[in-house]
Amino acid sequence: MFLISVDPTDMGLLIGKEGRTINSIRTLAKARAVKENIWVDVNVKETQV
């Protein structure tokens, strides 16, 4: 599992318009995982200020 910790002010940048950026990151991670025959999950967490 990958956990991406993000400052709350940058959360919008990571998610992107209509979730496209985070979905692209997840797609790339899963494509690599299939190639390596492993399971992967990408989660996002806001860091506490």
Q: Is the pTM of this model over 0.75?
A: yes
d(C-alpha 5, C-alpha 41), whole Å: 14
Q: What is the pLDDT of residues 24-38, one digit of tens each?
A: 999 999 999 999 999
User: Tokens representing 41?
Assistant: 């999950």
Whether residue 6 is predicted with pLDDT greater than 70 in this model: the reply is yes
For residue 9, give the DSSP letter.
G
